[in-house]
Amino acid sequence: MKNNIKEMIKSLNGCAADRPVNIMEVCGTHTMSISRHGIRQVIPEKTSLISGPGCPVCVTSANDIDIMLEIIDSYDVTVFTFGDMLRVPGTRSSLYAKKSEGRDINICYSPADALDFAVKNPDRKVIFIAIGFETTIPLTSVILKRAYQMKTGNFYIYNTHKLIPEALEALISDKQVKIDAFLCPGHVSAIIGSRPYDFIAKNYNIPCVISGFEAHDILESIIMIFDQIKKDEPDVEIQYSRVVREEGNPEAVKSIYEVFKKVDSCWRGLGIIKGSGLRLKKKFLKFDAKINFPVKKVISRELPGCECGEILKGLKKPYECRLFSKVCKPENPIGPCMVSSEGSCAAYYKYEKERL
Amino acid sequence: MKKKDYDIRPKLINIMEPEKNKKIFKDKIIQLSHGDGGIKTSELISNLILKYFGNKTLNKLMDSAVIKGSSQKIAFTTDSFVVNPIFFPGGDIGKLAVCGTINDLVTSGCTPSGLSLSFILEEGFAVKDLIKILSSMKKVLKESGAVIVTGDTKVVERGIADKIYINTSGIGFIPDKLDISPCRIKEGDAILLNGDIGEHGAAILGERKEFDFKSDIKSDCAPLSSLVSDIISVSSNIHALRDATRGGLASILFELSEASNTTFEIHEEKIPVKKEVRGICEFLGLDPLYMTNEGKMAVFVDKKDAEAVLNKMKKNKYGKNSRIIGRVSGKNKDKSGRVFLITELGTRRILDLQYSEQLPRIC
């Protein structure tokens, strides 16, 4: 393996374009892996790896957090969510602070845990905060279908699910953002396959490679990108072929659209992106927490000084934010990119602050 | 919530002369009365606990154990165990409770001698599970050479505790000429590790119902007393030992670097990780360097003795896959921990403490 990797680094530097190349990764696990393996230290000088909006926690809008907090304040509910969501600051508070105050907020690893709890505790109203991209949406769909079949009356989801290809199109269309290639997410693509990215290569001439997460996967993917740039033949290639198929997992995709339909969605830092979110279809609306627990309109504002928005678009590196590692640290996160274990600020802080 | 808390006073049981009354323990589940200091309590102690751990000191059931002393230095440690699930591949909460305290003791170079053992049991806990736990504790105690010299049992109402909690404390005597502590770590020391990391953490994850995967990974839970005595027998230049438990290898290296004001350089490719553990970590987005171990230890030794110590470790059953994983590369003046990892790519990054527990990825 070691020799293989050395060869890769050699050929990587041999085949690099002699112009600056910006490669954006759009998956939090890639972001972490790039920092963890120190990949920036071995790629050609003119190549930049920039982190896009690939971490679901990071792109959840402050408004969603604020509405959730308002629901928790107004109703006696039991809330389940994935761990990282707890510490994301809303405008005034966070789920973590509410939990410490004694609210019934729990970490789970799967929506199935939340549904189980609801079934066993029929006197509690249970809300699962559904977060994530195409990787976790099928899980939510399956659980909602199960809840529908079991006629569970005390289970709800607060839906913040988002779709990746639509966000990529929005990024490309943003004139400020300069992207020469995409390192496409491995797990999302395991579900949707490679075809949803075709328009990026065809319409925008931007190379895409779906990559695995190990160091050799990422190096090989970058070599594939260089190759496409050199030949000037933008395409969507699958490096992570041990997991990803061109057609993806049609069953999982089908289950998403049995339960949800596409709507516009607000991304932190990116604003409203057309067709990038999901809402429950009519049949499943009885599980929608926003409908069942109405609250007064919440006014949200971005966190002062926090540049997560620029960082999520790849316009700024985490260390270019004035708050980074001075005020904003993992133990005292100001913005979501530092909160999430998949956020780019957390990745830079954890693995690369020594070099900065 | 009201917490009922019944103390077993050993002197009450003393009157019962447990040695003479030892019978079969017939109850199937733990009841509150097993902790109320009455007849049921004495039955539990005499007919079950002493059956497994009885020895000259413990059988006296005094308020405090009296052990023969010496002029040697004494090592003293304590640890509580609240793990869920209580049974997992390669061990259970009882084995953990013994190994955890034994391993904490031996890192100071001592021979473990006496352990205390306290249970907090939930009303309704199955006695057959308790017996399973007691017998696995007995087995590792025998292997380590230590004995239980004092103990305590409490029973709390159903729902107040989760099945069983165990606390163990232990003491051991340190030979006069030995001085093993982080402040002795010095520039040039070799850093050794006794085998594959991350197995306990991965085994526990595999047992949790929320992760639906099957694996053959077993916890590495083991008493390291024989390994330490082997190491000490071949080198008088062992500077520090630390078992890499919660927070994993990365965390203990960071702590030792901070405690010794030195910088370490660790080579990722020399740290053994089993393929299955690597697979689970890749799947969930976790880092094996931060996964819990229960039978792994970092050894800091003067480089001139490194090969001899390594060869001796490899002959011990808990050190077959031992490696030299790095070295103490320099002094560190600003008193913060500095551990550098040379990655498989040949790049360099810092190993830091984690702010919070590792969470499975969601993207």
Please report the DSSP string for B117-156 in residue order.
EEEEEETT-BHHHHHHHHHHHHHHHHHHT-EEEEEEEEEE
Residue B211 forms contact with A (CB below 8 Å): yes
Q: Rounded to a whole number, what is the distance in Å from the CA of B280 to chain A's nearest CA?
A: 13
**ipTM greater than 0.90:** no
Of A56, A331, A354, the CB nearest to B363: A56
Between chain A and chain B, the number of residue pairs with CB atoms below 8 A apart is 95
B353 contact residues in A (CB cutoff 8 A): none
CA distance B92 to B100: 12
Q: Is A349 within 8 Å of A356 (Cβ atoms)? A: no
- Strands A77-81 and A105-107 turn out to be parallel
Q: Do A354 and B349 touch (CB under 8 A)?
A: yes
Q: Do A213 and B282 touch (CB under 8 A)?
A: yes
Q: Do A82 and B358 touch (CB under 8 A)?
A: no
Q: Do B345 and A342 touch (CB under 8 A)?
A: no
- A86 burial class (0-12, 13-18, 19+ CB within 10 angstroms)? buried
CA distance A147 to A155: 7
Q: Is B343 within 8 Å of B266 (Cβ atoms)? A: no
A152 dihedral zone (left: phi>0; alpha: psi -120 to 50; beta): beta
More confident residue, B310 or A308: B310
* Tens digits of residue pLDDT in A223-252: 999 999 999 999 999 999 999 999 999 999
> Taking Cα atoms as reference points, which of A22, A7, A54 lies closest to residue A346?
A54
CA distance B64 to B60: 10
- Strands B338-342 and B262-267 turn out to be parallel
CA distance A40 to B323: 29
Q: Identify the band that residue B211 occupies on the pLDDT scale cut at 50, 70 and 90.
A: low
Give the pLDDT score at B357.
66
**CA A349 to chain centroid:** 19
pLDDT at B6 over 50: no
C-alpha distances out from residue A133 to A137, A190, A261, A266, B333, Å: 6, 12, 14, 14, 46
Best mutation target among B283, B345, B351, B363 (most A Cβ atoms within 10 Å) is: B363
- Angle (CA) A271-A275-A278 rounded to 5° is 95
Q: Which residue of B has its CA nearest to A139?
A: B362
> Taking Cα atoms as reference points, which of A247, A228, A229, A250 lies closest to residue A237?
A228
Q: What is the sign, positive or negative, of the torsion defined by CA atoms of B230, B166, A82, A147?
A: positive
Q: Identify the band that residue B71 occupies on the pLDDT scale cut at 50, 70 and 90.
A: confident
> Taking Cα atoms as reference points, which of A125, A256, A127 lies closest to residue A188?
A256
- Angle (CA) B36-B39-B41 rounded to 5° is 50
- A63 burial class (0-12, 13-18, 19+ CB within 10 angstroms)? middle
* Tens digits of residue pLDDT in A83-118: 788 888 888 889 989 998 999 999 888 899 999 999
Q: Rounded to a whole number, what is the distance in Å from the CA of B1 to chain A's nearest CA?
A: 14
Give the pLDDT score at B302.
97
Of B340, B345, B352, the CB nearest to A37: B345
Q: Which residue of B has its CA nearest to A59?
A: B363
Mean pLDDT of chain A: 92
Residue B283 forms contact with A (CB below 8 Å): no
